[in-house]
Amino acid sequence: MNVNIEKTIKEIVRKLIPVRSFSEEELASARSIVNKLNSQLIGLMYESKRGRELLAENADGENINETVMLTINELLPSAKEFTSALQDYWLELIHAAIKKTAQTQRLPRFEKAFVLIEITAPKYSDNSKLWDTSNRAINLIINNLKGIFFKDDNFEHMAFGVISNWGEEAKTIIKIMPFEKLVNVI
């Protein structure tokens, strides 16, 4: 077994076995440990070709009226808990969604784009009292769209927004559209 995964499992056992009822602090600590374990397991899966193929099945994409919608059936991770394995996994998901979109229609390239990131978080995830969208790994998304849908991620070529809500299943939807669509709305 991977040494990091083994350490994380031991940490979970050490923290949870002696506890009879869970305080908010203990639940927060357990969530953090489980997120760490999830990241490590993703890294382990990502090392195999079949694992990458299975993980990429969590991504889809479409282009409707010059608005590209990339759907990732995962919760955008916290920037604080972001590991290189999780980064590789998310790169694979984003690029799999882009590839699926490109298979059916051409990918638009915008002089100036607006990127809307919609995050649906299960109620049990992270901090159920306050879910801070600015602490998500937003840069990972933006940095992997530039050069494909817009030239650069500076204010001359793109703007972005992030919204989130509670739901039954984790999901991150990335919409890339011409900036003019946003200007017409506001």
Q: What is the mean pLDDT of residues 23-47?
A: 68
User: Does 132 score more than 90 pLDDT?
Assistant: no
* Helix/strand/coil for 110: strand
Mean pLDDT, the chain, whole residue set: 80
**Which tops the pLDDT comparison, 87 or 47?**
87
DSSP calls for 135-163: GB-HHHHHHHHBTTTBS-SSTTTEEEEEE
Residue spans per domain, the chain: 1-47, 56-185
CATH class of the 56-185 domain in this structure:
alpha beta
pLDDT of residue 151: 96
Q: Distance between CA 62 and CA 66 in Å, rounded?
A: 10
pLDDT of residue 173: 97
